[in-house]
């Protein structure tokens, strides 16, 4: 079944790659609101996890086997092989990919708080007198108190909750009926709104300027190019990964005590000695 598994794996990996490529192309947009990233990532994870149950996957494999004449090499489709592949390979694979995406792109509880500015969600909770107050207190603590806003922490949160109590009524009005969270926040940062809602306006400005990507990825590729030179072009897997970590994340040379490193090395490896001209050397003893 190994050859069949390989052919089927190529198909499912191709579908996973298409979805990941589409998602990460979105990240390259300059003016990208963080909530759109959240929705796109959730959609991508859901789409990938549904792949093993999609009939088109099996159809694509059958067509490839027939058009590529792979059956001449002994690779023949069968329902039994397909079921075993889905249970033993495909499902664990897509679950692992989904878990990896979640680990690399974890949810931010602070950013989740901005969902209260969704007019649809606000309308659904219009009869809830406590709606949004806990999230506003969290945002006030994270964004306003840490920014050394005037007044004590209690004064800052009280001012923010008072503003929210007023603004939450406007949020369910016809003015915001068909607006997204991003559009609501953009409204809050417009001229004149700061005078009415200084705390909410500051929160909105912060949300609209949150970066959705970092230079870490570019830095890693630059590091790999620096490490994997033409003279070291065979570095791969563990060795390449270790060299990249050392080159990209190790302390600067001037902060490393090389004398201590040498001493520790020869202390732990007593059989590894070098000739030394210094008879008083405490590392090798003048050997």
Render pLDDT for 45-73 as a digit per residue (tens, 0 to 9): 999 999 998 888 888 887 877 776 565 66
Euclidean distance between CA atoms 118 and 115, whole angstroms: 6
| Other beta carbons less than 10 A from residue 200's beta carbon | 25
**What is the rounded distance in angstroms from the CA atom of residue 201 to the CA atom of residue 239?**
50
Q: Compute the average pLDDT of residues 129-151.
A: 79
pLDDT band (50, 70, 90) for residue 212 = low
Residue where the block lists tokens 């050394």:
148
Read off the pLDDT of residues 227-267 as tens digits, 9 standing for 90 and up: 777 767 777 777 777 887 777 777 666 677 777 877 787 77
Share of the chain above pLDDT 70, in %: 80
- Judged by average pLDDT, the poorest of 9-23, 59-73, 120-134, 150-164 is 59-73
Containing 110, the helix (H) or strand (E) segment is helix 109-112
Q: What is the pLDDT of residue 287?
A: 46
Q: Rg for the chain (alpha carbons), in Å?
A: 29
User: Predicted confidence band at 285 (pLDDT cuts at 50, 70, 90)?
Assistant: low
Q: Identify the CA nearest to 22 among candidates 44, 42, 45.
A: 44
Average pLDDT value for the chain:
80
Average pLDDT over residues 156-180: 89
Query: CA 101 to CA 105: how far, in whole Å?
Result: 6
More confident residue, 168 or 256: 168
Report residue 268's pLDDT band, with 50, 70 and 90 as the boundaries: confident
Which helix (H) or strand (E) covers residue 279, if one does?
A: none
């Amino acid at each position: 079944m190994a050859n069949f598994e390989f052919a089927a794996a190529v198909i499912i990996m191709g579908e996973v790659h298409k979805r990941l490529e589409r998602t990460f192309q979105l990240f390259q947009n300059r003016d990208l609101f963080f909530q759109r990233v959240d929705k796109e990532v959730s959609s991508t994870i859901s789409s990938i996890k549904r792949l093993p149950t999609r009939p088109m996957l099996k159809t694509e494999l059958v067509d490839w086997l027939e058009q590529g004449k792979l059956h001449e090499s002994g690779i023949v489709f069968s329902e039994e092989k397909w079921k075993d592949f889905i249970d033993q390979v495909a499902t664990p694979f897509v679950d692992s990919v989904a878990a990896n995406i979640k680990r690399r792109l974890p949810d931010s509880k602070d950013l989740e708080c901005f969902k209260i500015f969704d007019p649809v969600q606000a309308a659904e909770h219009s009869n809830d007198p406590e709606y949004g107050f806990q999230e506003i207190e969290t945002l006030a603590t994270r964004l306003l108190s840490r920014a050394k806003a005037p007044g004590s922490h209690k004064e800052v949160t009280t001012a923010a909750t008072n503003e929210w109590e007023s603004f939450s009524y406007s949020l369910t009005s016809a003015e915001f009926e068909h607006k997204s969270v991003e559009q609501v926040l953009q409204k809050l940062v417009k001229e004149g709104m700061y005078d009415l809602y200084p705390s909410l306006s500051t929160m909105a400005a912060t949300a609209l300027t949150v970066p959705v990507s970092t230079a870490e990825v570019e830095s890693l590729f630059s590091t790999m190019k620096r490490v994997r030179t033409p003279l070291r072009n065979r570095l791969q897997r563990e060795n390449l990964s270790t060299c990249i970590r050392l080159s990209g994340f190790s302390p600067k040379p001037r902060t490393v005590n090389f004398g201590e490193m040498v001493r520790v090395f020869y202390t732990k490896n007593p059989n590894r000695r070098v000739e030394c001209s210094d008879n008083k050397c405490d590392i090798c003893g003048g050997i």
